[in-house]
Amino acid sequence: MRRLGLVLLMLAMLGIAGSAHAQYPWLRLPPTPTLPKPERSGLAPVNGIRLWYAVFGHGSPVILMHGGLANANYWGLQVRALAPHYEVIVLDSRGHGRSTRTDAPITYDLMASDVLALMDYLHVHKAALAGWSDGAIIGLDIAIHHPERLTKLFAFAANSDPSGVKDVSKSPVFTAFIARASREYRRGRKAKPQFKAFLANIERMWATEPHFTDEQLRHITVPTWIVDADHDEAIKRENTDHMAALIPGAGELILPEVSHFAFIQDPVMFNEALLHFLAER
């Protein structure tokens, strides 16, 4: 009887520990947010595809770029925080969400050219850009090759080279994200879904791109913050530090107790950092 009591006590303690463990923000993948009602939205004909976009609020333009396999809905909590102060533009990158793609391989350069074409379509000459993961890499690509189009760059969870990426297959949170991305992709497609082919294309891009040289990073003139999370499952901290050290005048911010999905794990902290960055002169 005493042994049974000890076993029950141990199980109770493990249960408490497990519950506390599950509450760590960096181990949670909160639900995908929804976007508020936009001022306008549509499908822009750019570079041979139809690129979905939506515009919210009024003021200086800010473009929000989502990560690989995701869609613009993931920015729902940021749009609500920014729209009272800025004109916020979101888009689904080619092949993602509501946007179409061609048979051409998806690359960072190609997605960056889509962003520039959308800016032209919307008559936006310059904008601030906040990007997450692949979206941040697209922002760096534009900052390197077309700095005249950006006023600022908030690059969250980017890598400058494939060597800066961890093995995400070991992360339960990232595995859960990929499974969710598959469901969201299939749900948003009227035509026969081809998620496996799409995932293979994106994983090939992740394995081979980007390749921003130290010289390119040293010549970025766009005011930039390199931002990451202290529990990022995907990005090696040394690569984050490397980029921040090379980009002239760059700020480096490491958000505590969150991961690659910080903007939904702790949106208040993330939004405060982003608003602070955008308000800086």
Q: Does any domain span residue 20? A: no
Q: How many domains is the chain built from?
A: 1
Fill in the DSSP letter of residue 87. E
Range scoring the smallest mean pLDDT among 57-66, 143-152, 181-190: 181-190
Quote the tokens at residue 37: 């009602």
- Angstrom distance (rounded) from CA 161 to CA 164: 6
Global pTM? 0.91
Question: By residue range, what is the domain housing residue 205?
Answer: 40-279
Quote the tokens at residue 123: 């008559």
Q: How far from chain centre, in Å, is Cα 215?
A: 25
**For residue 255, which of 265, 245, 247 has the smallest C-alpha distance?**
265
List pLDDT tens digits, range 217-234. 999 999 999 999 999 999
pLDDT of the residue at 280: 85
Which runs of E-coded beta strand occur in 99-149? Answer: 127-132
Give the DSSP per-residue string, 207-263: HH-----HHHHHT--S-EEEEEETT-SSB-HHHHHHHHHHSTT-EEEEETT--TTHH
Q: Does any domain span residue 75? A: yes
pLDDT of the residue at 23: 76
CATH number for the domain including 102?
3.40.50.1820
pLDDT of the residue at 49: 97
**pLDDT exceeds cutoff 60 at 21:** no
The residue written with tokens 């800016």 in the block is 119
Q: Does any domain span residue 27? A: no
Q: Does any domain span residue 21? A: no
Q: Does any domain span residue 29? A: no
List pLDDT tens digits, range 167-177. 999 999 999 99
Q: Does any domain span residue 9? A: no
- Angstrom distance (rounded) from CA 244 to CA 156: 12
Q: Does any domain span residue 154? A: yes
Q: Which residues pair with 206 in a beta bridge?
A: none
Q: Does any domain span residue 165? A: yes
- Angstrom distance (rounded) from CA 39 to CA 274: 22
